[in-house]
Amino acid sequence: MLDALINEVEVLKAEYEKFQRGNKSAGTRARKSLQNIKKFAQDIRVAIQETKSAE
């Protein structure tokens, strides 16, 4: 899960840099990456909580 989050952050970085240079389509892709990051972060939070609760 953590690897997926890290990869998505790298995608966000690339798309955001393109957006900063004026590529409007990259802004949409950057927003999509942010949404994916939010999902991955939530999945990791749930997994951590489940592990804590199981102990």
SS3 39: helix
| Cα separation, 51 vs 55, whole angstroms | 7
Structure tokens at 9: 């952050």
Judge contact between 34 and 12, C-beta under 8 A.
yes
The pLDDT value recorded for residue 55 is: 85
pLDDT tens track for 2-35 = 999 999 999 999 999 999 999 999 999 999 999 9
Distance in angstroms between the alpha carbons of the first and the last residue of the chain = 21
What's the whole-model pTM score? 0.88
Domain boundaries, given as residue ranges, for the chain: 2-54
pLDDT tens track for 26-37 = 999 999 999 999
Count Cα neighbours of 32 within 13 Å in the Cβ-side half-sphere: 9
